[in-house]
Amino acid sequence: MQKKLISLMVLWPISMLHAQIASPEVGLGEQEYWAEMPIVLSVSRLAQRLDETPGAVTVLDRNFIRMSGARDVVDVLRLVPGFQTTTSFETDAPMATYHGRTDDWANRIQVLVDGRSVYAGHLQGSAGMGWQTLAIEDIERIEVLRGSNSAAYGARAFLGVVNIVSRDVRELSGPVVYANIGENGIKDTGARLSWGQGSEAQRLSVDKRGDYGLRGAYGANQIDRVNYAAHLMLGGGNELLFRAGALDINAGRGVVGDIEGNSAHMRYLGSRYIQADIRNSLGEDHDVLLSASHTEHSVVDSFPYQTPGPYFGAGISANSSEYNDAISLQDTRQHTDFFRTVWGVEARRERLASTSSFDTVGQVSTDFIRLFGNTELRLSKDWILNAGAMAERSSIAGFTLAPRLMLNWHLTERQTWRMGLSTAYRPPSAYENYAATRYYDVNGGNPTQYYVKSNGGLRPERVESRELGYLVNVPELGMTGDVRVFKERIVDGIAHNNASPQDYLNSEDFEINGLEHQVAWKPANATRVFFSQTWTDIKATRSIDDATAFRTNQSAPKYAASLAFMHTFKTGTSVTLMHQRAEETALMASNRELFSVGRTDLRLAHRMKLEGHGTEFALTLQNADVPYRDGNRKFFFDQRLFVSVRYEH
């Protein structure tokens, strides 16, 4: 495999250079193409072009997301190189992870919504609820950094960062209504109202999303959302962006007739947040950003105890609540034409309350203090050095220092090589470090035995990353290509043992090696092609047992690929064809078997003016192939057909 990766790494630049020399003049003009090249903020916290960022980035914009036919963020991310996703609500809400999942929770990437971390400590660090913060209709773009980024975002950015960016309220006006209805109980409705302009603009969005879920899973799933955003000019070079929202998820979980403590029942997940960002412009080359947020998560999960014995039939409560507060100050400055910096400080407190998880009526708190800095130094016309680090102290894991160094070399104006290394940390979640899981009845009495009892004292997980990247732009073809070769060595990985009760230990060491590439091709304004491939090899060098090692080694497919073709005709009709392939992956609750995914989606849409207002009708077929197992070997994603309508005043 290693020889194949090296060969591809060598042949890719040669083939792209040949294309630049030999290609006919088709596609976008060069000036137009460079104007369209994305500027991303989520990598170093500096606004940078894709060929100058310290890492490999995938950007999914609003039009791509809409034409994909996806109903939530997770379903879009399955197309990104190196990502695995599930639409299951069994342990959490639908979730995505990068480079493997070793348990039921995806907790090794940082997920941001407009820069706010949506980490949920009670759900072992998962961002499942956070993925559902915004409706697809309200998303402007998704920026995905494929690689460690603790240097910019701290402990949670262990293997990557996803930043979901909402629509700019200043660019919206009037009402929008939309709906989906179709097979498997699909019934989505939503509306958005935007008003104001100039120094004051506001947006209010409400929507509801529902379906019957995966075949084999219990119960229907429903998501209700409301989000508000306002952009205000305060004078004196200050601007305020205020956001607030609420999320309610009602979903089924468990198995009918199960007597091992997971009987079929409905569960509620809720989230509330407020966020304020004040930006002060101190000149063309200097600004300061003050951000503050408060996020609340809640879980209502009550069910009858089914294990035979003295507690059989007793009502059990696994409810929880969580409160996360964060405040940060960030200073961004361009000192000269060749030297830029961003630095800042952040304080964060996470408080959890769950009698069933921690065996206490009080709160479990974790505090973080972070100091970060990143510099961009243009050593010459063709060489750019990105250097950054974050010093972090947490009450749960002590002090860590996460550095990153990346060198970008512009071989030509259109070709860039990236070489870099970084170290990142992930402290244990509050549950991993303090878990004391047993259940009480709904009156707070009659406790069961302990099912999980953590002895604490866990060390943070550490990853040492090395990567070599190559990015090419061919304006004549309207094409951008990106290759990333990576080696990620994880030490002191946290996993639970199989004792009774279970305990969490620093019991895993493993390496992730591989190559991934993506090609974004826009041969004309009306046509888009996105293609990606990933080769991943995970090898555990230390593990609790053979079953855990198997799930670690097989937690990402050895080979995966995705293809999306989108075209809009002059008549306003558009067509989308997407295919995803992932080979031989171990799923949740599978210690021996491997499963593959093959999925093809089709979408046909027509945009028109109806009484002078923009209207779109669409027909989407998800999974035209045979049903595949989704997340768990017991659950199947069947074929789904639904119609959509969108009306914009």
User: Is the predicted pLDDT of residue 59 greater than 90, yes or no?
Assistant: yes
| pTM for this entry | 0.92
Rounded-to-integer distance, Cα 218 and Cα 214, Å = 8
CB atoms under 10 Å from CB of 504, counted, come to 23
Q: Which residues contact 340 (CB under 8 A, 6 or more apart)?
A: 46, 332, 333, 334, 375, 376
CA 133 remoteness from chain centre: 12
pLDDT band at 573 (very low <50, low <70, confident <90, very high): very high
Overall average pLDDT of the 478-484 stretch:
95
Q: Which residues contact 477 (CB under 8 A, 6 or more apart)?
A: 19, 23, 26, 27, 521, 523
Number of domains in the chain: 1
Least confident range of 3-17, 28-42, 61-75, 97-111: 3-17
pLDDT band at 102 (very low <50, low <70, confident <90, very high): low
The DSSP element (H or E) to which 31 belongs, if any, is helix 30-36
What does pLDDT average to over the chain?
89
Rounded-to-integer distance, Cα 513 and Cα 519, Å = 21
Q: Can you give the CATH number for the domain in which 574 is found?
A: 2.40.170.20
User: Is the predicted pLDDT of residue 64 greater than 70, yes or no?
Assistant: yes
Q: Strands 613-622 and 640-648: what pairing? A: antiparallel
Pure H helices in 146-196? 150-153
Q: Is the peptide bond before 54 cis (omega within 30 degrees of 0)?
A: no
Domain with 230 in it: 2-648
Rounded-to-integer distance, Cα 532 and Cα 60, Å = 13
- The pLDDT of residue 620 is 98
- The pLDDT of residue 16 is 45
The structure tokens 């090609």 sit at 519
Rounded-to-integer distance, Cα 423 and Cα 627, Å = 40
- The pLDDT of residue 17 is 43
Overall average pLDDT of the 478-485 stretch:
96
- The pLDDT of residue 643 is 98
Overall average pLDDT of the 210-221 stretch:
91
Rounded-to-integer distance, Cα 577 and Cα 68, Å = 8
pLDDT band at 5 (very low <50, low <70, confident <90, very high): very low
pLDDT band at 346 (very low <50, low <70, confident <90, very high): very high
pLDDT, one tens digit per residue, over 174-205 is: 999 999 999 999 999 999 999 998 789 999 99
pLDDT band at 33 (very low <50, low <70, confident <90, very high): very low
User: Is the predicted pLDDT of residue 344 greater than 70, yes or no?
Assistant: yes
- The pLDDT of residue 103 is 58
Least confident range of 91-105, 290-304, 407-421: 91-105
pLDDT, one tens digit per residue, over 370-401 is: 999 999 999 999 999 999 999 999 999 999 99
Q: Are 365 and 323 in contact (CB under 8 A)?
A: no
Rounded-to-integer distance, Cα 483 and Cα 515, Å = 7
pLDDT band at 260 (very low <50, low <70, confident <90, very high): low
User: Is the predicted pLDDT of residue 533 greater than 90, yes or no?
Assistant: yes
- Percent of the chain at pLDDT > 90 equals 69
Rounded to the nearest 5°, which phi and psi values hold at 323?
-135, 120
Overall average pLDDT of the 308-331 stretch:
86
3 state DSSP class of 20: helix
3 state DSSP class of 41: coil
Overall average pLDDT of the 22-38 stretch:
51
User: Is the predicted pLDDT of residue 591 greater than 80, yes or no?
Assistant: no
- What length is written for the chain? 649
pLDDT band at 19 (very low <50, low <70, confident <90, very high): very low
Q: Which residues contact 269 (CB under 8 A, 6 or more apart)?
A: 92, 93, 128, 129, 247, 248, 249, 251, 297, 298, 299
Q: What would you report as the CA-atom Rg of the chain, rounded to the nearest whole angstrom?
A: 24
Overall average pLDDT of the 613-641 stretch:
93
pLDDT, one tens digit per residue, over 40-52 is: 988 999 999 999 9
pLDDT, one tens digit per residue, over 115-147 is: 999 988 776 667 888 899 999 999 999 999 999
Rounded-to-integer distance, Cα 32 and Cα 39, Å = 15
- Residue 74: both structure tokens together: 């997770």
